[in-house]
Amino acid sequence: MNKSILAFGLYLGILSVAQSQINNGGSSIRVGIDYMSLKAPEDFIVLFPTRNLGIKTSVAAPDKMAIRYVTQFVHQIANNRIVIEGSIGFIPIRRPRLQLTDAYYVEGHRRQRFTGDMTVLVNFIKNSRHAIRLGGGPSVWYRMDNMLEEVRYVIDNGNQVIVNRQSRQQTNELNVGYHLTAEYAYELNNRFILGSRLGIANFKGKYGTKLVGIFLGYRL
């Protein structure tokens, strides 16, 4: 009987230690969505429709916002006071077709970003379920753009479009910079974590972006 009580007590002790380790350290995987600005390159299209010897010019609005899909690997150290995050993400942007007339259109922009970020964050509150963290780190993003820059076209008397010129700019380049992040995380239970984040990223004069996002994490 005494041995059974002792074994049960030992089991509870081990379980308590394991529980403490889960709450205060270890690794997790997150998935999230970021809503972010995307200001560069300056995104405009100049259209030159010509009809009856008249020329008109219009400028299309830029792609100002985008959605990024993110996967993160997170490791906590120093009793959950320091968090190291590695993340990869993907940003797909496809601008709708440009309708020149009721029967004629041209394909719009296609823009993609493949993102990689390494982040070190510090937790500023002592709480078993809540965390407010600030930090930053390096960012490496690969940019692929197929930008429609200009369309020149003629509308004949039968309202048919004759395309004189359609020019596009292709860009494939690696951008290196940094980012700063603030995040709030709440432990739903011993396995699942829900949180939100704010951040900025800058790429040495190439372009910058601001973001707000949410994530769901699972402890390994």
Domains (range + CATH), the chain: 2-219 (2.40.160.20)
- Contact predicate 66/33, CB 8 Å: no
If we measure between CA atoms, which residue out of 67, 45, 69 comes closest to residue 58? Answer: 45
Binned at pLDDT 50, 70 and 90, residue 152 comes out as confident
> What pLDDT sits at residue 72?
97
Binned at pLDDT 50, 70 and 90, residue 211 comes out as very high
> What pLDDT sits at residue 13?
45
State the amino acid at position 18 in one-letter form: A
Q: Which two tokens mark 118? A: 């390494």
Per residue in 58-95, pLDDT tens? 444 455 788 999 999 999 998 889 999 999 999 998 77
Higher pLDDT residue, 52 or 111? 111
pLDDT reading at 194 higher than 70: yes
Per residue in 160-177, pLDDT tens? 766 667 777 888 999 999
Binned at pLDDT 50, 70 and 90, residue 55 comes out as very low
pLDDT reading at 182 higher than 90: yes
Higher pLDDT residue, 4 or 149? 149
Higher pLDDT residue, 16 or 76? 76
How many CA atoms does the CB half-sphere of 2 hold within 13 Å?
A: 0
